[in-house]
């Protein structure tokens, strides 16, 4: 089996495992008494993460440069990052809600990378001159990890908004019943945990985003003679930074929590995707090597 077939096989296996993990997470919530669904969900997600790490490592060894030189490679790295964050969160908090939310996103990303992108965009190619720098590993990897962490944190905020909408009518209509009161109490505890976890996750992703932007500015000065050129990717990176800076500022200094903070964090989910993928549809600017034709 040659390297290309091995690569395709590993990607297909990763996709299949993530899809099975997604279905298992959903089943574990629908049929919470059947423990095998939780076991299958977690083991499938972890195995897929490890296979993706193996695939990225092999691609690195073959191309002899860090495999983040095009959109396809960055999508694989992003999927690995998201599933890794999911893995770490589940070690801390034993809840299938997180996986049921994150695995669909990871499945869609790897499906888009392997099924939608043309073969010529999936091939490992030599680096363009601007990327032939030691800053490639520092800047691009940190930015991609920050995207993964921030996406997970904002998804948790969206989950908070969905669950909080479900809680209100039940607590208002049946707040006199003991069963409803117990349900509401447990739901409030869950909401507090999700809100706190979302905040901590975003608080971790924000400094990574900051480091990524700063390192990118230094690299840009070396490559193009300017720290900042208002390239579309640079502009949206700044907008993303400002959105999450506003979120953290509102939580730390204004005491925002709950719905108001979650709404702002949910906006960050859209902004991150525009910064990462949306500007690639433009095919313009200094980062055009990652465009979508």
Positive/negative CA dihedral, 63, 211, 282, 230: negative
**pLDDT of amino acid 7:** 76
Q: What is the pLDDT along the chain (293 residues), one digit of tens a residue?
A: 566 677 788 888 999 999 999 999 999 988 888 889 999 999 999 999 999 999 888 888 787 777 887 888 889 999 999 999 999 988 877 778 889 999 999 999 999 988 887 777 777 776 766 667 777 788 888 999 999 999 999 999 999 998 887 655 544 554 555 555 555 666 688 888 888 999 999 999 999 999 999 998 888 888 777 888 888 888 889 999 999 999 999 998 877 778 888 999 999 999 999 988 877 776 566 665 555 55
Distant-in-sequence contacts of 42-48, Cβ < 8 A, 24+ apart = 42/90, 42/99, 44/17, 44/18, 44/20, 45/17, 45/18, 45/21, 45/83, 45/86, 45/87, 45/99, 45/103, 46/87, 47/17, 48/13, 48/14, 48/17, 48/18, 48/21, 48/83, 48/106
> Cα separation of 92 and 86, whole Å?
10
Dihedral angle of Cα 252, 213, 273, 108, to the nearest 10 degrees: -110
Find how far residue 93's CA is from the centre of its chain.
Answer: 18
**pLDDT of amino acid 170:** 47
> Cα separation of 110 and 102, whole Å?
13
pTM of the model: 0.86
In Å, the largest CA–CA distance within the chain is 69
**pLDDT of amino acid 136:** 77
Question: What angle in degrees, to the nearest 10, is found between the helix axes of 71-92 and 141-173?
Answer: 50
> Cα separation of 177 and 262, whole Å?
29
**pLDDT of amino acid 184:** 60
Backbone angles phi, psi at 285, to 5 degrees: 95, 180
CA angle 89, 207, 225 (to 5 degrees): 135
Backbone angles phi, psi at 160, to 5 degrees: -60, -45
Distance between the two ends of the chain, CA-based, in angstroms? 31
Contact 204, 197 (CB under 8 A): no
């Amino acid at each position: 089996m040659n390297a290309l077939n091995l690569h395709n096989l590993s990607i297909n296996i990763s996709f299949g495992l993530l899809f099975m993990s997604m279905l298992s997470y959903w089943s574990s919530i629908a049929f919470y008494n059947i423990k095998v669904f939780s076991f299958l969900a977690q083991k499938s997600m972890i195995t897929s993460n490890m296979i993706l790490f193996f695939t990225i490592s092999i691609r690195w060894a073959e191309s002899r440069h860090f495999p983040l030189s095009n959109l396809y490679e960055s999508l694989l790295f992003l999927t690995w990052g998201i599933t890794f964050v999911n893995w770490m969160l589940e070690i801390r908090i034993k809840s299938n809600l997180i996986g049921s939310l994150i695995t669909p996103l990871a499945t869609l990303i790897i499906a888009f990378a392997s099924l939608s992108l043309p073969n010529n965009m999936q091939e490992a190619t030599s680096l363009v001159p601007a990327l032939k720098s030691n800053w490639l590993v520092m800047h691009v990897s940190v930015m991609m990890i920050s995207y993964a962490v921030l996406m997970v944190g904002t998804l948790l905020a969206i989950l908070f908004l969905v669950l909080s909408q479900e809680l209100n009518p039940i607590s208002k209509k049946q707040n006199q019943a003991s069963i409803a009161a117990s349900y509401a109490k447990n739901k409030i505890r869950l909401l507090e945990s999700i809100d706190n976890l979302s905040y901590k996750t975003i608080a971790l992703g924000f400094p990574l985003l900051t480091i990524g932007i700063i390192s990118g500015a230094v690299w840009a000065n070396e490559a193009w003679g300017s720290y900042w050129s208002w390239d579309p990717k640079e502009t949206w990176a700044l907008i993303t930074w400002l959105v999450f800076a506003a979120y953290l500022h509102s939580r730390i200094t204004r005491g925002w929590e709950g719905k108001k903070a979650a709404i702002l964090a949910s906006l960050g989910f859209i902004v991150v995707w525009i910064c990462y993928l949306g500007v690639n549809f433009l095919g313009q600017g200094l980062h055009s090597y990652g465009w979508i034709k």
